[in-house]
Structure 1
Amino acid sequence: MIPPLTDHMLRQLGRTEGDSRTLEVLVRDQDTRRLVLLRALLDAAGAAPAAVCPPRALDRLRADWALLEAAERADRAAVRAVLLHPLTGPWARRCLRGLSAPAPASLSGTVPDPELRADLDHLSALAAAAAIRAGIPFATRLTAHDGLLALPTLGALRTTSETPVAVDVAFRAGELTMREDGAAVSPLVAHPQPDGATGSADPRWLPVLALPAVRHGIGPVSLDDVDPYRTDGRGLQRHGLSAATHIDDRERKSWAESWAGVAPLLGIGGEHRLTEAALLLRCLVPLGPPPGSGPVGESAAHCSGTRREAFGAVLSSKPATPAYFASTLVHELQHTKLAALCALVPLHHEDAEPRHFAPWRSDPRPFDGLLQGAYSHIALADYWQRFALNARRVTHRDLAWAEHARCREQVGAVLPVLAGSAALTREGRVLVNEMIALYHRLDDCPPPTGHLARAEAYVATAKVIWQQRNGPRRP
C-alpha cells in the first residue's frame, strides 16, 4: 500500500526538496503504475483480434511472460530492475497502443503489423534480460531489428544485417551466448558483472555502462545508448533536443569521468539534492550536441530533457563540466519529481492553451508548462546560489552568481501568473506558496549588483523579443 502524501511532504516538494520518505511515495506510485501498465498490456494482447495479435504472437507473448514469472520467483529485485527500467515505460505504452488499435484491413491475421511485431519482439528481449539478471538458465530465439538486438539494461548485439534476423540466445552458469542465425561468425560470449554491467571482449557487444550510485546502498545508474525506445524519434528538435546517439569507448570514459565528480557537487546544493538523485535517477540517455551547436568544449551548447512515460530517465548531451552535469540533474529531476506529483494529485485545472510568457522559452507556454519550468528554474536558482556561496575560485563564483541571478529573475517574471491562478487546487496552492517562500528566501544572499542588473536586462529583453514574435500575452 502506498502511504498518503501529507501536507508536510507537499511543503517539502514545494521548496523543491523532499526527504527519502517523501520521494519514496512518488517512486512507489510510479512503480505501481508501471506494473499495472504491463499487466494491461498482457490483457490487451489476449483481447486483441487475431488480425492485430495473431495466435502465434500471443503464444510467444505468454511464453515470455512465463519466463518473467520464473525469473521473478528466483530474484524479484533483478526482474524489477528490468521491468521498472525507465525505458521500459515508452515501449509498454507504445505496445499497448498497438494492441488496442483497430486492425488494418490489409492484415491477413497471421502476421502482426511490422511495428507492433517489433514491439512484441521486445518483450522477448525484456524477459531474457530479466532471466539473465535473475541468474536462471534458459535458451530462446530472439529477433534483432535495425541491426541491433537490445537486451534492456544489459547491452546490445550488433548484427551483420539491418533487416530483422533471428538470434539464438542462451544463458547458463553465468555465461551468455548469442548466435546470429545464418551469419558466418562465431557466437558472441558475454558475462554479467557484479556491478550490474555485462561485459564482453567481442566488439559486436555494445554494453550499457553502469555508473556508480551517488549514495551507498542504491543501485547504479545506467548510461543507456542502445535501448531502441530511449526516444520516440519525433519532436526532439521542437524541444531543442538532439537525437539519441551511440557512444564509443572514449566517450563512455569521458561520461564516467564527469560522473565521478557529480556527487560532491550535488552535495553543495544540500543533502536533498543527493537524496533526489539517489532515489529518482535510474538512467541517463546520451544525446548528441544540440542542433546548430558549436564544437565540444567548455562553452559548448547543451541540451537535456525528460519523458513522463520514462520515469527515472534523464536525456542529456554531455555537459561541459561536472558542475554543469550536477546542475543538469538538479534541473531535470525537478521535472521528474513534479510530473510524478501531478500523477498522484491534481495541482490545477487550467486548460492546455499555450498563452504564457516564459523567459526560458521563445514560444507561448501552457499553464502546466509554466509551472514545470518555474519549478525547475527556482531549484536551479537555489542550487547556483549555494554553489556561489561555497565556491573558492573567483571564476567559479562569478559563473554561479550569473546562473543564479538569471534563473531567479526568470522565475520572478512568472510567479505572479502562477500565484494569481484561480484554478489551482488546494495542493497546487500549497506548492506554489512554498515556491514563493523559497523565492523570497533567496533574497537573504543577493547576487552582486552587476550580475543582478545583467539578469534583469536579460529577462526584459527576452520578453520584448517574445512579444514581437508572439504578440501581447493572450488572456
Structure 2
Amino acid sequence: MSPPIPDRALRELGRTEGDADSLGLLVRDQDTRRLVLLRAVLDAAAAAPTTVCPPHLLDRLREDWALLEAAERADRAAVRTVLFHPMAGPWAQRLLSGLTAATVTGPDLPAGLAHLTALAVAAAIRAGVRCTALLAPRAGLVSLPTLGAVRTDSGPVELAHSAGEMLIRPANGPPLVARTQPDGTMTSADPRWLPVLALPALLPGSGPVPLDDVDPYGTEGGGLPRHGLSMAVRMDDHERKAWAACWSGVEPLLRTGGEHRLTEVAVLLRCVVPLGRPPGSGADAGGVAHCSGTRREAFGAVLSSRPATSVYFASTLVHELQHTKLAALGALVRLHHEDATPRHFAPWRSDPRPFDGLLQGAYSHLALADYWQRSALGARRVTSRDLAWAEHARCREQVGAVLPVLAGSAGLTREGRVLVNEMITLYHRMDDSPPPPGHLARAKAYVSTVKVIWQQRNGSRRQ
C-alpha cells in the first residue's frame, strides 16, 4: 500500500513549499472529507429521533438532496463549487453535532437544516437547473452560498430560477430579478441583492476568489473573540473598493516572495471572509490594527480584517495558508503523539501553547521568514527592503527560539520527523543571506524580552 503522501511532497511541505501536485493531494483529501461529512449529515438526520428531526424537516432535507443530485448530473463542477465552499464546512459540522446530540438542540437545528435548501438552490443555479424554494431570512438576509444574498425586512422569500434568471419575491416589497453572468457571478440592478464580490484570479487558469461577507456561517460558531479575532462584517461600496485595490497589488509581491507563494494562493485559497477591526483596537486605530485567522473546518478560507496595504495582504495570505496546509496535512497523516497540554513558550503568543499549536505557529512563522527574506532580496526600494529585513529577522528569531522543542520531541511520528527536519533545513538555509546586523540585533533583543516577560507570567509552566 502506498503512503498517504509521498516523501517528496512531505519534504516540500516541510520547507513550507509545495507544487500544485503536492498541494493537490491535500485538496483532494479535504474535498473527499467534505463529501463524507455531507453524507453523514443525511444519514444522521434519517437516524435521528423525531424529537430532534421531525418528519417534515427530514422530507425537506431529502428534497434538497434530490435537487443537489439533479444539479450534479447537469454540471458536477458547478455543484462542487458550492459543496466545497469553505463555509459549508462549519455548517455541516454544526448540523451533524446537533443531529447526533443526546438532547434536543433548540432552534439552531431547524435553521441548520434549512440552510441545505440554500446550498441546493445555489448549486442548481450554478448548474443551470430549474428550481423553486421558500427561504427564511437570518439577520435580515436570505443567503445563497457563493452567489450573494437578498436583503429583506421580514418574512420568507420565494425564489424561482430558470434559464439563468432568478425571480425573487420578498414577503414585503416588490419582486426583483438577479441574473447569472458568464463568470458565474449573479448580479441585479436592485440594491436589495448583495452579490459576493469576486477578487480577480492571480494566475491564468485559476479562478477568482470570493470576498464573502454574506454567508451566515462565515464566523458563526468559530469562537473567534477567544483568538483575538473580530466577527464578520458586511461591506459597503467604499469598503469593497478598498479591498479590491488592496488585492490588486498582491500578485507581484507574492511573486517576489517566491513563485510557490503564488501557487499556494491559486490552489488553496477559496474565499476571504472580511472581518471587522480587532477587538479592543478602537475606532481611531486607523489602518494599522489587523487580525486574521483560519478555521480547520473551513478549508480554503482566510478570515481577515482589511490589511492596511497590499504588502500586508500578501503576508497575511502567506501566514494563514500555512495553517491551512499544515492542518490538512495533519488530517491526512499523523504528525505527532504529543498531548494537548498548553505548556510551551511561543514568542508570538503571551499564553502557553500546546505542542500542536507550537508546531502550527513555528511553521507559519518559518514561511513568513522565508517570504520576507526573498522580498528583501528582490526589493528595489530602500523602504521596502528595510521593512522586509525587519520582518524576516523577527520571524526567523521567533522560529529559532522554538525549533529545539520541536526537534527534541519524542512524540513525533516518522512523517512528523521528516517535516520538522525539513523545517530545520530551511531555517539554516536562510543563513546564506543574513539580515543587516541592526535588524538582527533588534530581533534577538525582542525575542529575549518576550521570553523574560512570558517566564514571569507563566514561570511554573514554562518549557
Bucket of the pairwise TM-score, normalised by the shorter protein? over 0.9
Match of 1:274 among 262, 280, 287: 262
Aligned residues between the structures: 463
Shift, 1:299, TM fit = 5.7
Alignment-mate amino acid for residue 289 of structure 2:
A
> Which deviations, in whole Å up to 9, do the C-alpha atoms of 1:159-215 show, x marking residues without a partner?
112xxx32110011211111122x1x1112111222222111211111111111111
Contact 2:138–2:216 (8 Å) recurs in 1: no
Contact 2:212–2:273 (8 Å) recurs in 1: yes
Contact 2:224–2:231 (8 Å) recurs in 1: yes
Q: Secondary structure at the match of 1:309?
A: coil
1:353 has 2:310 as partner: no
User: Residues 89, 230 of structure 1: CA spacing in aligned structure 2 closer, same or farther, 3 A cutoff?
Assistant: same
Aligned-partner Cα distance in 2 for 1:298–1:326? 19
1:393 has 2:381 as partner: yes
Aligned-partner Cα distance in 2 for 1:378–1:75? 41
Aligned-partner Cα distance in 2 for 1:257–1:194? 23
1:46 has 2:36 as partner: no
Aligned-partner Cα distance in 2 for 1:299–1:470? 32
Match of 1:170 among 145, 148, 160: 160
Contact 1:171–1:177 (8 Å) recurs in 2: yes
Structure 2 portions without partners, runs of 5+: none
Alignment-mate amino acid for residue 463 of structure 1:
K
> Which deviations, in whole Å up to 9, do the C-alpha atoms of 1:336-371 show, x marking residues without a partner?
000000000000000000000000000000000000
Alignment-mate amino acid for residue 81 of structure 2:
A
The equivalences for 1:97-112 within 5 A come to 97-104=97-104
Alignment-mate amino acid for residue 407 of structure 2:
A
The equivalences for 1:139-178 within 5 A come to 139-161=132-154, 165-178=155-168
Aligned-partner Cα distance in 2 for 1:297–1:241? 15
Q: Secondary structure at the match of 2:156?
A: strand
Q: Residue 115 of structure 1 aligns with which residue?
A: 108
Q: Residue 23 of structure 2 aligns with which residue?
A: 23
Q: Residue 202 of structure 1 aligns with which residue?
A: 190
Q: Residue 362 of structure 1 aligns with which residue?
A: 350
1:90 has 2:90 as partner: yes
Aligned-partner Cα distance in 1 for 2:360–2:183? 35
Query: Alignment identity in percent?
Result: 74
The equivalences for 1:63-462 within 5 A come to 63-104=63-104, 113-161=106-154, 165-181=155-171, 183=172, 185-233=173-221, 235-293=223-281, 300-462=288-450
Alignment-mate amino acid for residue 149 of structure 1:
V
User: Residues 446, 295 of structure 1: CA spacing in aligned structure 2 closer, same or farther, 3 A cutoff?
Assistant: farther
Aligned-partner Cα distance in 2 for 1:399–1:382? 14
Shift, 1:467, TM fit = 1.1
> Which deviations, in whole Å up to 9, do the C-alpha atoms of 1:58-81 show, x marking residues without a partner?
000000001001100110000000
Aligned-partner Cα distance in 1 for 2:56–2:181? 35
Q: TM-score normalised to the size of structure 2?
A: 0.97
Q: Secondary structure at the match of 1:170?
A: strand
User: Residues 259, 453 of structure 1: CA spacing in aligned structure 2 closer, same or farther, 3 A cutoff?
Assistant: same
Aligned-partner Cα distance in 1 for 2:59–2:286? 53
Shift, 1:295, TM fit = 5.7
Q: Residue 9 of structure 1 aligns with which residue?
A: 9
User: Residues 196, 61 of structure 1: CA spacing in aligned structure 2 closer, same or farther, 3 A cutoff?
Assistant: same
Aligned-partner Cα distance in 2 for 1:401–1:297? 25
Q: Secondary structure at the match of 1:32?
A: helix
Contact 1:297–1:320 (8 Å) recurs in 2: no
Q: Secondary structure at the match of 2:136?
A: strand
User: Residues 234, 41 of structure 1: CA spacing in aligned structure 2 closer, same or farther, 3 A cutoff?
Assistant: closer
Alignment-mate amino acid for residue 241 of structure 1:
L
Aligned-partner Cα distance in 1 for 2:179–2:63? 25
> Which deviations, in whole Å up to 9, do the C-alpha atoms of 1:70-122 show, x marking residues without a partner?
10011000000000000000000001111111243xxxxxxx83110110110
Q: TM-score normalised to the size of structure 1?
A: 0.95
Shift, 1:474, TM fit = 4.0
Aligned-partner Cα distance in 1 for 2:233–2:221? 12
Contact 2:214–2:234 (8 Å) recurs in 1: yes
